[in-house]
Structure 1
Amino acid sequence: MTTTNQESVSRNQQGSIDKQRFTTKLTGVIAGGMFIDGYILGVVGTVIAAITVDLDMSLFWEGLIGASALVGIFIGGPLGGWLADRLGRKPLFAIDLAIFIFGSVLQFFVDSAWQLFIVRLLMGIAIGADYSVGWPLLSEFSPRRLRGKLLAFCEVAWYVGFMFAFVVGYVMTTAFSVDWRIILGTSTIPAVILFLARLGMPESPRWLMNKGRTDEATEIAHAYLEDPTDVLDITNEETRKGTFAMLFSPAYRRATLFVSVFWFCCVAPYFAIATFAASVLSDYGLGDGLIGAIGVNGLALVGVVVSVLLIERIGRRKLTIPQQWVCAVVLLIIGLWTSAPPALVLICFLVFAFANAMCTALTGVYPGEIFPTEIRGLGTGFATAFSRIGAGLGTFLLPWSMHNLGAGVTMLIAAGICVVGAAVSQVLAPETMGRNLSETSAPRS
């Protein structure tokens, strides 16, 4: 081999390594946003009792504080998606995190329930926008052979954040008796680190191509996309303006219905149970509920890791449908057998957490794959918002339902929600494994 050929091969190898490093970094900074989301939603569950006593809150305010960030995500998801489709992924990628940091710092200074609600609402808006920017951006840069795995990995980060929040909250409340404001404000630390890591990220080549900026799109695609077929696939992008109405057009209404209902039914029972896991498990006679809550969330983390490992081997549908039926069955057992031994109840909750997490991993995969570039952010944002209706209602209503309807009826309602999700997924969930984005997001009637 001549010196010139050796240099060419060396450059190609280095270029491939650089692209892989970029993909790894991009996945990390997007997963970091999911970690923060899980963290702020989990940490409030460890201090909600202290907040209730300190601020003399009613059950109404207790549920509202627990759901405040979810309400914010409901607002921020569609808004961030709309802006990301109009202005680009890159600018929103840093702006939303800056807003989050501002709100996170304000948590140190709140002294009333309404102030805490407003601050966490603002943080939720930023996180909702991050969903609508991060997942589309990652799907548009990921090689098709790894796209599902990388998108699902972001859910791993969410569960790590959620579980880590319980660990931090438990240690800080029991070992050091730290004020709840400081515990909530610890979310500032990872947010600042993540903000700095996101600086300098490139714009999505698919978004640029969709806007008719062909030269820029081609340059970025050749510089950052690992798979040559993905570079070629961006030429299939059409210069077309996306609208909200497209989500409900004959071409995409099935996608919108499936993603929204599936996501809603995955998170509604999980958020309700996991956010108040400590008190729920205590009500079932399991002693120190906080320890059990950490176990439930820990097994959920294992479940989503399993999905990450299997998604590019067995496909999307096999990780989406059966697990929802399992969740329905175990919650039905808890709801009907109200006098079940505490050990059996704990086992059922653990099985629910594991199976629910496996299918929830797909909630981050499907939106980035089945919506086209011009509405990928908006579609992700709409599905995010719809899912947070379920998560917010579950979190807000669970304390009331446990108190007024009883644990049995509450679990039966949760089981019914799982049945709806499983049935809709059975009919509408597509298989997108190994296909280019132009194929997975093709219109369907």
Structure 2
Amino acid sequence: MATLPVTGDRFPEQQPAAAARERKRLQTKLMLATQIGEGIDGYIIGGIGMAMTAITADLHLSTLDQGLVGASPLIGIFIGGPLFGWLADRTGRRPVFLVDMLIFLLGSLVQFFVTDGMQLIAIRLMMGIAIGGEYAIGAPLLSEYAPRHNRGRLLASLEISWYVGYMLATVVGAAFAGVHGGWRWSLASSAVIAVVCVALRGGVPESARWLLSKGRREEAQELIARYDIEVDVETELADGERQNSLRALFARKHIRGTIFAGTFWACLVLPYFAIGTFWTQVFDALGMGGNATAALLIYSVTAVLGVTAGCLIVDRIGRRKLLVPPFWVTAACLALVAVWPRSTAVIVGGFLFFIFLNAASSALTAVYPLEVFPTSMRSTGVGFAAAMSRVGAAIGTFLLPMGLSHFGVEFVLLVGAGVLALGGLVSHFLAPETTDLDLAQAARAAHTRS
């Protein structure tokens, strides 16, 4: 199989069948291990949305406690993303890839035994720290072994896993809804998924691109040859960042990518997380009759369809077209529902368009942050962007129940529309077009776009 140059001045010979088999096996293993890790985040967010009413009754949660239970994993991601990202850039991708999932597994099991709200908040904070590590290492490792021609689709498919995880948690939560203490089983069920994920991560090799960023060319070349990887070796070696990766995020060379990745991600997920976590309350505040659980299932299925569509077209239409226009359309959808909150047609249509297009654009949260940072600081950059996104989501999740109580659903929806409009504005000016570029070249494009 012909590949891109791996030495900077020649093309390798035809790779043997053994290398092709090794590459396929590794990509399949990495894909499954990373997709499950991504889905786990959606699973714990969707699970708490279904279980919140029962948890509130059993643990006697106040409105403040409800907000903290919903926001604690998001706050944890704020801590875990930069921390594990820095560790992965400093010590390597491989060890962090396993440790973060072991922490999550422990937290999943301990949730079953909580006796008060503060215990649940603390445990889910720890799980959020592990999820932050997952964002910082999972997708970056996969991207560093992905071919450029379908890198967007491969990475975007991780977001499908997030929404499938969210939808699956909704189904599991609904199944346990009529069981006494069923919320405990629902929350702890994430341990089953974590066990599978841990098993898949054994034997995963180090990233060849990371080895190059550290000047370890001989080791990297062995992996490149073994797995027949497409790598622009000379660019990777040239772009190795010598200063601390956290400081490098805010250096003049990289600040544009840092601001863009954190802002667009935060603006995409804040309205979705806040509304999804407290869907029953939003549903009731809009005066909608019928079954709120069924409506949440429709909400989840529509999101899966949206992110699947985004995954299928991301490499065809380009990154910018999938991001900028949907920001403005989804902002208009929420604003429309806020202006006509008593029209069933407007509510249903507005929310369906919002969910579908927001989810389609969200496919880029697994693509853009991987492409705007060089290998030497990719995990740190992705971890920081994930942290910023979850700060926004945590703020929205924490404030939404109080906003509903004090200002009403119309105000809450208008704030969500404003956040989406901000994302559209920032993306219009800062989003680079990285489609079909080698990963190293894409990072250069992010800070040279005029």
* TM-score, L = length of structure 2: 0.93
Q: Determine if the alignment matches structure 1 residue 130 to structure 2 residue 161.
A: no
Decide whether the 8 Å contact of 1:331 with 1:352 is kept in 2. yes
Q: Return structure 1 stretches of 4+ with deviation > 4 angstroms.
A: 229-237
* Cα deviation code 1:368-393 (max 9, x no counterpart): 11101111111111111111111101
Map of 2:398 onto structure 1 = 396
Looking at structure 2, the residues matched to 355 and 11 of structure 1 have their Cα atoms a distance apart, in angstroms, of 41
Q: 1:305-320 maps to which residues of 2 (within 5 A)?
A: 305-320=308-323
Indicate if the aligned counterparts of 1:108 and 1:181 stay in contact, CA closer than 8 A: yes
Q: What corresponds to 1:60 in structure 2?
A: 64
Which residue is equivalent to 2:411? 409
CA distance in 2, matches of 1:19, 1:230: 17
User: What does residue 79 of structure 1 align with?
Assistant: 83
* 2:215 counterpart residue number: 212
The structure-2 alpha-carbon separation of the partners of 1:232 and 1:27, relative to structure 1 and needing over 3 Å to count, comes to: farther
Query: Aligned residue for 2:306?
Result: 303
Size of the aligned set, in residue pairs, is 434
Aligned to 1:280: 282
2:50 is aligned to 46
Q: Check whether the contact 2:89–2:245 (CA below 8 A) recurs between aligned residues.
A: no
Q: TM-score, normalised by structure 1?
A: 0.94
Residue identity (%): 44
Instruction: Out of 157-166 and 233-242, give the one that drifted further.
Output: 233-242
Contact 1:142–1:225 (Cα < 8 Å) also in 2: no
Question: In the alignment, which residue of structure 2 is the partner of 1:188?
Answer: 191
CA distance in 2, matches of 1:33, 1:396: 25
Say if 1:241 and 1:205 are closer, same or farther in 2 by CA, change over 3 A: farther
C-alpha deviation, 1:235, in angstroms = 4.9
Q: Name the structure 2 match of 1:24.
A: 28
Report the Cα distance in structure 2 between the residues aligned to 1:19 and 1:301, rounded to whole angstroms.
Answer: 29
1: CA distance between counterparts of 2:192 and 2:53? 24
Q: Distance in 2 between matches of 1:10 and 1:154?
A: 31
Offset, 1:236? 4.6
Cα distance in structure 1, aligned partners of 2:149 and 2:345: 42
- CA 1:231–1:243: 2 relative to 1, 3 Å: closer
Q: Is the 8 A contact 2:26 2:204 kept in 1?
A: no
Q: How far apart are 1:245 and its partner, in Å?
A: 2.1
Q: Report the 3-state secondary structure (helix = DSSP H, G, I; strand = E; otherwise coil) of the residue aligned with 2:448.
A: coil
Q: Which string of whole-angstrom CA distances, capped at 9 and with x for unpartnered residues, describes residues 239-269 of structure 1?
A: 6344322112221111111111101100110
- Distance in 1 of aligned mates of 2:336 and 2:185: 39
Contact 1:210/1:240 (CA < 8 Å) preserved in 2? no
Distance 2:134 2:147 in 1: 21
CA deviations on 1:377-417 (whole Å, 9 max, x unpaired) are 11111111111111101111111111111011110010000
> 1:163 corresponds to which residue?
167
Give the distance between the partners of 1:378 and 1:236, measured in 2 at CA: 19
Which residue does 1:322 correspond to in 2? 325
Contact 1:278 / 1:288 at 8 angstroms: preserved in 2? no
Does 2:334 correspond to 1:338?
A: no
1:240 equivalent in structure 2: 242
Q: Aligned in 2, Cα 1:213/1:303: closer, same or farther, shift over 3 Å?
A: same
Matching of residues 141-156 of structure 1 within 5 Å? 141-156=145-160
Q: What's the offset of the Cα at 1:311?
A: 1.0
Q: Equivalents in 1 of 2:404, 2:273: separation in Å?
A: 14
